[in-house]
Amino acid sequence: MRSKQGSSWRYMLQLISVVAFVMLLASLSYPPGRENWLLQWASRLDPWLLLSQLRWQQAVPAWVWLPLLTVTATLLWGRVFCGWLCPLGAMLMWTDKIGKAAFKNMSPVRVQILRTVQPIRYYWLLVLLIVFALGSNWVIFLTPFALFSHELARVLQGYMPWLLIGIMAGTLLFSRLWCSVLCPTGVLLSLAARLRLFGYRIAGNCVYCEQCASACSVGAASVDTAVAQAGCLACGDCHRVCPAKAISWQHRWPSGKDSRLVPADGGAAAKRQGSRRQFLKAAGAVALAAAFWEKTVGAAEPVLRPPGSLPAPDFTAVCNRCGRCIQVCPGKALQPMPITDGLTNFATPYIIPRQSRCDLCLSCQEVCPTGAIVQVPLDKVRMGRAILDKSRCIAWEENKLCFICGEQCPVLAITGDEYHRPTILLDKCAGCGSCENACPVAGEAAIRVLPQ
């Protein structure tokens, strides 16, 4: 396939990926339908989601073939998932092109900065793996589908997508630093791509103009190795700009090597020095992982979670903060927890019953991609427990005719005596917050719902 045709196909796939993802998320509403099914399948292409399922459920899910499809494609052709299908990657590709046009004079500096920080990506992967293994799900939050969902959901709710803006600003200045070094999925697939069968190779007629290096947005083109490095997105930009037509797509393991393009042996002393540096960097990565884990897996203040949520702290360890449960909630009862409540709880869904009640539609259970909100029948839902303060209840304290809490309870967990004074049936209470939300007492309600 010609380079121009390949670029056209790639641009078209990336455009479809971005537009489809945005439209599907924007149309996610009650009751969830086909759009939810497509979003779930797209999210499950990410191998990190499979790792999360294996860590939490310790069982192989039925959709295991989806992430394995991504890994297989990577082992064959490199990071085609990142370069051709990822919606966030597509957005950053266009952002990078804008950056190249806007900062044309800084192009060599952008490439140099990217190449300078690239060696740390596998140490960053070590940090992510350690934090993930210790129980934090922040790694999954940083994966492209979860992160893009979270930021788009913020936009749809009227908030600024600060994280996405920051990543795009970083791309403008430092090329595709996020895709190449920081994205958990990108770095994981870069590791797998080291074993890929096919890739771009540089032939002996290379004229060392380094136009390929300038065109590569992830710093993967290198005349020193004669083979595109593991971070290559298989975009073909290097092939397209090469004036000598010395770059071609072929098997990565040819029988012979071009001696002009193979770097000279640096000697045993240099190797020993490199080993010491690697050891120190690995030790630093372990220390950073320990510090990051401590901040993201701490004890959190109990709050009212969506119906079917795993008990704390398992919920925060499995939730990827994608925001789809918040997006689909018809009564807008679910809200993302702010950063002021700590990194452990940040962006996880919760309910403030005095502000809004859960309608028990259970749609959040259907759209959760990680299993943090489990599908349970309505009669098994136990979000919290209602507590009645008779000293504040106007029916009990002032003998007023008020039974609003009982009238609003969707599961008939509140009964009234001959004077309509309420009594809670705890074995029936689902903890949805309808009673607290409807209580007419000013200020703190006479009946409150506390987390389980």
Q: Is the pLDDT of residue 351 over 50?
A: yes
Predicted confidence band of residue 223 (pLDDT cuts 50, 70, 90): low
The backbone region for 90, taken as left when phi is positive above 0, alpha when psi lies in -120 to 50, beta otherwise, is alpha
Q: Higher pLDDT residue, 351 or 259?
A: 351
Predicted confidence band of residue 272 (pLDDT cuts 50, 70, 90): low
From the list 145, 143, 133, 137, the residue with the least C-alpha distance to 314 is 137
Range 399-432 burial, b when 16+ CB lie within 10 A, else e: eeebbbbbebbebebbeeeeeebbebeeeebbbb
* Half-sphere exposure of residue 192: CA atoms within 13 angstroms, side-chain side: 24
Range 283-304 burial, b when 16+ CB lie within 10 A, else e: eebeebbeebbeebbeebeebb
**pTM for the complete prediction?**
0.87
**Position of tokens 């952008």?**
110
Q: Is the pLDDT of residue 266 over 60?
A: no
Q: Is the pLDDT of residue 260 over 60?
A: no
| H/E element, 216 | none
Q: Is the pLDDT of residue 270 over 70?
A: no
> Which stretch of 155-159, 251-255, 400-404 has the lowest confidence by average pLDDT?
251-255
Cis check for the bond before 313: say yes or no (omega within 30 of 0). yes
* pLDDT score at 259: 46
pLDDT 10s digits, 415-431:
999 888 999 999 999 99
Query: Partners of 450 in the beta sheet?
Result: 385
Percentage of residues in the chain with pLDDT exceeding 70?
A: 92
**Local structure of residue 443 (DSSP, 8 states):** S
* Half-sphere exposure of residue 363: CA atoms within 13 angstroms, side-chain side: 23
From the list 34, 72, 31, the residue with the least C-alpha distance to 50 is 72
